[in-house]
Structure 1
Amino acid sequence: MPNIFTQNLGETPRQALNWRLGYAILCFGLMGASRGIDEGLISGTVQQKAFISKYRLNDPLLSESERANLLGNITAMVQIGSIGGALLAFLITDKIGRLWATRQLCLIWIAGIIIFITSNGRIGQVYAGRFIAGLGIGQTAVVAPTYLAEISPRAIRGLCICAFSGSVYLGIMLSYFSSWGSALHISSHSQNQWIVPTSLHLMFAGIILLLSIGVHESPRFLASKGKKEEATATMSKIRNLPEDHPYVQTEMLDIFEQVEREKEATMGLGWIGPLKELFMTPSNRYRIMLGLMSQLLAQWSGANSITIYAPTFFAMLGTTGQSEKLFATAIFGVVKLVASLVCALFLVDMLGRKRALTYGIILQFLSMLYVAIYLAIVPEITEHFQPMGNAKRAGTAAIVAIYISGVGWALGWNSIQYLINAEIFPLRVRALGSSMVMCFHFANQYGNSKAVPSMLLETAMKPQGTFFFFAAVTLLGLIWMWFFLPETAGKSLEAMDEMFNLPWYVIGRKGAALTASAGHAENYMRDDVEKVIQHEVSHDEQVTSSEK
C-alpha cells in the first residue's frame, strides 16, 4: 500500500528510496540548521540579561537609535559574512566538489563560533567571530540545496530539498528552547546563560562533518569533470539499481548530454565561460531574474524579521516577562517546524510549487495585515498599560496570527526560495547562479535585520507601519509569482532547458504545460522506454562514428 513517501513517485523505481539516499539527505539537509540556529539563538541571546550587561546593550548613555544600531550590528554580522560565504561557495564548489566544500565550511563555522563565545565583552571580537561563522553558514545555502537537487529522484526533489529548509526550523526550535531553558536555569550573572545555547552551533557542525564521511559525491559533479564511469557507478549506488537499469541510464543520458552541450557552448572561454553563459543567454537571464526576485520578495515579507526579533514582537502584542517572551518564541519555533515537515511530506511535490506558494503567501499576507491593524488600533503595551476585554482577546488573536504567518512562510517562500534556486540553473552555471542568488539573499537579510530595529522606532515607521509594509510586499510577491514563476515540479533538472527557452512572457503562465514531455527522464516516466533506448543507440553510434 502506498504511503506518504511513495505515493508521489509515479513510475520511479521504489529502490530509489533507500538508505543511501536517506543518509545523504540527512547529512546535507541538516546544514539548514546552521541558519536556523543562528537566527533563533541571536533573538534570545540579545534578550539574555548576562549578554545585555556584558556588551552594554542597556547602557544609559546610548540613545535609542545608537542602541538599535548596536543591536542590528550584532544580529546582522552573520548575514554580512554569509554574503562572502555564498561567493566562496561558487569559487570552490565546482573545484573541490560538494563533499569537500561541506567539510571546509563546517570547519570555518566552528572557528567563527569559538571566536564569538570567547569574546568576553570585546564587541570587536563578537563582530569578527560572527562574521567568520557567516562565511561557513553562507556556504550551506549554496552547497546543500545544489547537492540535494542533483541526487534526488525528480518526483520527490521538492521533498528532498525541503529537508534543508525544514532543518532551518529544527535549528530555530532547538535554539528557542535552549534560550528559554538557559534563562530559567542559569544565573543571569553568568555568561553561560548565552554561551551554553550557542554551543548548539558546535554540535551541529561536528555532526555534519562526521556524517559527510559516508556520503557519495554528486554524480552530476563527477560527470562535469569527465568521470563518466564513476558518475554512473555512483548514481547506481544512490539509486540502489544496476548501472544498466533503464532508469539509471536515462538519468545519466540527460546529464551527459547537458554536459556536452555546455562544453560546446563555452569552449575556449575558460573561467569566463560560465559568466558569459549566465548573462548573455536569454533563458539564463530569466532564471537569474526568478532567483533574485524570489529572494527580494521573500526576505522583505517580514517572516525572517519575526524569527530574528520574535521576543520583541511578542512583547508588542502583550506577552510580558522575559521567560514568557522566550516561551512564546519557543512555541513559535515548534509551529514552524511542524508546518515545514507537513509541507515537505505532503504539499510541495503534490500541490506543485506555484500552488503551495500561493496558499503560503495568502496566509502570510492575511496574518501580517491583521497584526498591522491591531497595532494601529491598540495603544502601545507597556508596564503601565495592559489591554483588557476585547482588546486583550484581539491581542491573543494577533499572537495566533504570528504563528499562522509562520505556517504560511513554511508552505510558501521558505520552501520555494531554496527549491527554485537549486532547480532552475543548468549544470555548468548551477554553482555560479546559486551563489549569486544566495549573495543577494544574505544581502537582503542583512539589510532587513539591520533595518527592522530602526523601522520600529516611533520616529520611523513604527510597529504598525512596519507590518503594513510587510503585508504590502507579501501581496506584491503574490502578483509577481502568478505572472512569472513557472511550475517546476516533476521536471528533470536537464529538461528545464526547453521550458526556459520559451518566450519570456509564456514561461510563467504556460511553460510547464508546453514542455510536459521534454527530456529522456520524462520519456521514461511516461513508460516510453523504447524511445529512450533507440535514442541511446543513436547516440552511441554518433559517438562511435565521431571517434573514427
Structure 2
Amino acid sequence: MVNVKNLFSSFSEKKESRPTPPEVYNIRVYIAAIVACFAAVVIGYDAGFIGGTVALTTFKDEFGYAKMLAAEQTLTTSNIISLFHAGAFFGAFFIYPIGRYYGRVVGFALSGLIITLGSGIQLASNARTGLSAIYAGRVLTGVGIGAISNLAPMYVSEIAPSAIRGRLVGMYEIAWQVGGLVGFFINFGTEQHFTTDMQWRIPLAVQLIPSGMFFVGVLFLKESPKWCFSAGKKDKGLNALCYLRNLSPDSEYIAWEVAMMEEEVAERDATVGTSFTGPFKALFGSKALRYRLLLTTSTFILQNTTGVNAINYYSVQVMKTMGISSLSAGLLSTGVFGVIKGVFCFIWAFFIVDNFGRRTPIYWGTALGSFSLWYIGAYIKIANPAAKLAAGISTSDAGSKAALAFFYIWTVGYAIGWSGLPWVLNSEMFDQSNRTLASCFNAASNWFWAFIFARFSGNMITKMGYGTFFFFAAMLIIACVIYMLLYPDTKGIPIGDVDMLFEKGVAPWRAHSRAMELIRLREEQRVTPDWVKRVGKGSQEHIETVSDFSTEKHV
C-alpha cells in the first residue's frame, strides 16, 4: 500500500540552503495552499464563461441586443465584462486593513461571503429588470476576488518552505485555469442542451459552487505563522507552524524558522513600526522599495502584452477572425484552449518554476507565443477568413488549421512562461514588514490592467483585425527583453533574504547565483543573517574571505 506521507516527501523534497527534514514537505501544507488558492477558481471561471455567455443568443434576446446598434452592443458587452475588474481593483485595497490587523483567514472568510453574495445577485437579472443586477453583482463579486488576489498568494508564500514556494504559489494559477476550463465547457454544454434562459442562467449560477466551497474550506484553515508572529500571537503562530511543518515544537528546524520570523518582526518594529501609516512611509520612503514595487506592479502590464485577457474574454470573437464561424465551434475551440492552458499551467507549477526558475521559462514562452501570433496575424491578413465567411466560402483549409494549431502553441507558451509568474514573483519580493501593503498594490495593478484590456480589446479586435495579433506579438518580445534586463530570479531564496537580489552594482541576471552563494556560506558557517547582509553590501572579495570572520551560533 502506498504511504501518502512518504509519497509527498519524495515528490516534494528539494535542496534548500540548509538541511530540511523530509516531514516539512507534507500533505498539510499542500492542502492549505489548495484551500487558499481555491477562490482563484472563481476568477478563472469568470474569464472562461462570461465572454461566451454574453455571446449566447438567448442572453442577447433576453436583454434586447437586437434593438441596439453594433457599437452599443460592443459597449454593453465590454461593460458587463470589465465591471468585474473594476470591483476587483478596489477590493485589493479594501482588504488591506483587514488582512493586516485581523489576519489572512478572516480576510478569506469575508471575501468568500462577498463573492457568494455578488454571484447570487447576478441571478436576479431578467428582461424586465434589465442588466442592473448583473452589473451590481459583478462589481461585488469583483470586490471579493480583488481581496482574494491580494491575500491568497501572500498567505501561500508565508506558509511555504522556500524550496517549493514557487510550486505552491503556482497553485493559484492552476486553480485559475481549472476555473477557466470549467467556464469554457459550461457554456458549450448549455449552448448544446438548452434553448431557454437556463442557457445563460446556469453559467451564472455555477459561480456559487466554488465560492461556497472556498468559504467552507477557510473555516478549517490555519492562520499564517508569519502573520501571527508579526501580530504578537506567538503561541498561535508556533502551533500553526508545527502543524504545517508536521514537526514538534522542539525541532531544530522549527527553532530556526521561529528565529527567522522573530528577527523579521524585530526588524519591522525597528524600521517600520506598528502604526497604520508605518508601512506606507517605509514602502514609499525608500527608493529601493519604490523601485521594487515598480518592478512587481509592472509584471501585470508585461503579462497582458501576451494578449491573454483579450483572448480570454473575447474568445468567440477571436475565433471568428480566424474563420471559425459557428458559436458551437467557437465555444468548443475555446474549451480546448482552456484544457491546454490548464494542463501546461500544472506542468509549469509542479515541474518548471522551482526547477528552472523564474527567468528561463519566460524565454521559452516568449519564443513560442510571439512566433505563433506573427503567423496568425499573417494568415488573417493574407487569407481574410472573415470576408470568406461573409461570402459563404468555406474557411476550412490548411492555412486555417495551421492558424488554430499556432493558437494552441501560443497557449502553451503563455502557460509555461507568463501565466502564474507575476503572482509567484510578487509574493516573494517583499519581507513581512512591507508584504501586506505591497500585495495590495500588486493585486490592484493586475486588476487595473485586466480592466483596461478587457474594456478595450473588443473594439481593438473589431477595428484592427489581424493587426491585433501583430501588436501582441511585438509587445511580447519587448516584454521579454524588459524582464531579462530588470528582473532577478527569486527561485529558492528565503523571503527574508530577498534584499540580496537588489544589491547595488549587481546585474539582475547575476543576482540569484550570488545570493545563493551568500546563503550557502551563511549556513555552512552558521552565522547570523545580519552578517550576510553586511557581506552582501561589500565586494565579491568578502565572500572569498569568509573564513576570516568570526561566527556566531545561529539556531
- Normalising by structure 2, we get a TM-score of 0.90
Other-structure match for 1:514: 514
- The residue correspondences of 1:469-480 to structure 2 (distance < 5 A) are 469-480=471-482
Q: Which amino acid aligns with 2:233?
A: K
- 1:191 matches 2:197: yes
Q: State the 1:29 CA deviation.
A: 2.0
Q: Is the 8 A contact 2:310 2:458 kept in 1?
A: no
- Aligned to 1:5, the other structure's residue is in SS state helix
Q: How has the CA–CA distance of structure 1 residues 185 and 442 changed in structure 2, closer, same or farther, with 3 Å as cutoff? A: same
Other-structure match for 1:251: 257
Q: Which amino acid aligns with 2:268?
A: E
Q: Is the 8 A contact 2:272 2:278 kept in 1?
A: yes
2:423 to 418, 425, 428: 418
Q: Is the 8 A contact 2:37 2:172 kept in 1?
A: yes
1:337 to 324, 336, 342: 342
Q: State the 1:267 CA deviation.
A: 3.4
Other-structure match for 1:48: 56
- Aligned to 2:105, the other structure's residue is in SS state helix
Q: Which amino acid aligns with 1:516?
A: M
Q: Is the 8 A contact 1:9 1:155 kept in 2?
A: yes
Other-structure match for 1:156: 164
Q: Is the 8 A contact 2:123 2:204 kept in 1?
A: yes
Q: Is the 8 A contact 1:112 1:129 kept in 2?
A: yes
Q: Is the 8 A contact 2:527 2:554 kept in 1?
A: no
Q: How has the CA–CA distance of structure 1 residues 254 and 51 changed in structure 2, closer, same or farther, with 3 Å as cutoff? A: same
Q: State the 1:22 CA deviation.
A: 2.1
CA distance in 2, matches of 1:178, 1:246: 50
Q: Is the 8 A contact 1:12 1:153 kept in 2?
A: no
Q: Which amino acid aligns with 1:386?
A: I
Q: State the 1:7 CA deviation.
A: 5.1
1:140 to 148, 154, 169: 148
> Which 5+ residue runs of structure 1 have no aligned equivalent?
541-548
- 1:377 matches 2:382: yes
Q: State the 1:479 CA deviation.
A: 0.5
- 1:170 matches 2:175: no
CA distance in 2, matches of 1:474, 1:530: 43
- 1:74 matches 2:80: yes
Q: Is the 8 A contact 1:246 1:529 kept in 2?
A: no
- Aligned to 1:142, the other structure's residue is in SS state helix
Q: Is the 8 A contact 1:86 1:139 kept in 2?
A: yes
2:404 to 399, 402, 405: 399
- Aligned to 1:515, the other structure's residue is in SS state helix
CA distance in 1, matches of 2:13, 2:57: 50
- The residue correspondences of 1:53-452 to structure 2 (distance < 5 A) are 53-59=61-67, 61-62=68-69, 64-121=70-127, 122-187=130-195, 190-267=196-273, 270-381=275-386, 382-386=389-393, 392-452=397-457
Other-structure match for 2:542: none
User: Which moves more between the two structures, 12-21 or 475-484?
Assistant: 12-21
CA RMSD of aligned residues (A): 2.3
Q: Is the 8 A contact 2:13 2:22 kept in 1?
A: no
CA distance in 2, matches of 1:388, 1:538: 72
Q: Which amino acid aligns with 1:112?
A: G
CA distance in 2, matches of 1:468, 1:375: 11
Q: Is the 8 A contact 1:8 1:350 kept in 2?
A: no
Q: State the 1:18 CA deviation.
A: 2.0
Q: Is the 8 A contact 1:499 1:507 kept in 2?
A: no
> Which 5+ residue runs of structure 2 have no aligned equivalent?
1-5, 532-549
CA distance in 1, matches of 2:509, 2:489: 9
Q: Which amino acid aligns with 1:473?
A: M
- Aligned to 1:478, the other structure's residue is in SS state helix
Q: Which amino acid aligns with 2:179?
A: G
User: Which moves more between the two structures, 155-164 or 432-441?
Assistant: 432-441
- 1:482 matches 2:491: no
Q: State the 1:528 CA deviation.
A: 5.6
Q: Which amino acid aligns with 1:125?
A: A
Q: State the 1:385 CA deviation.
A: 4.3
Q: How has the CA–CA distance of structure 1 residues 244 and 531 changed in structure 2, closer, same or farther, with 3 Å as cutoff? A: farther
CA distance in 1, matches of 2:22, 2:13: 10
Q: State the 1:152 CA deviation.
A: 0.6
Q: Is the 8 A contact 1:485 1:507 kept in 2?
A: no
Q: Is the 8 A contact 1:34 1:171 kept in 2?
A: yes
Q: How has the CA–CA distance of structure 1 residues 434 and 267 changed in structure 2, closer, same or farther, with 3 Å as cutoff? A: closer
Other-structure match for 1:546: none
Q: Which amino acid aligns with 2:197?
A: Q
Other-structure match for 1:15: 23
Q: Which amino acid aligns with 1:107?
A: L
CA distance in 1, matches of 2:15, 2:225: 21
CA distance in 2, matches of 1:251, 1:320: 58
Q: Which amino acid aligns with 1:305?
A: A
Q: How has the CA–CA distance of structure 1 residues 394 and 8 changed in structure 2, closer, same or farther, with 3 Å as cutoff? A: farther
Q: State the 1:517 CA deviation.
A: 4.2
CA distance in 1, matches of 2:12, 2:36: 21
Q: State the 1:339 CA deviation.
A: 0.6
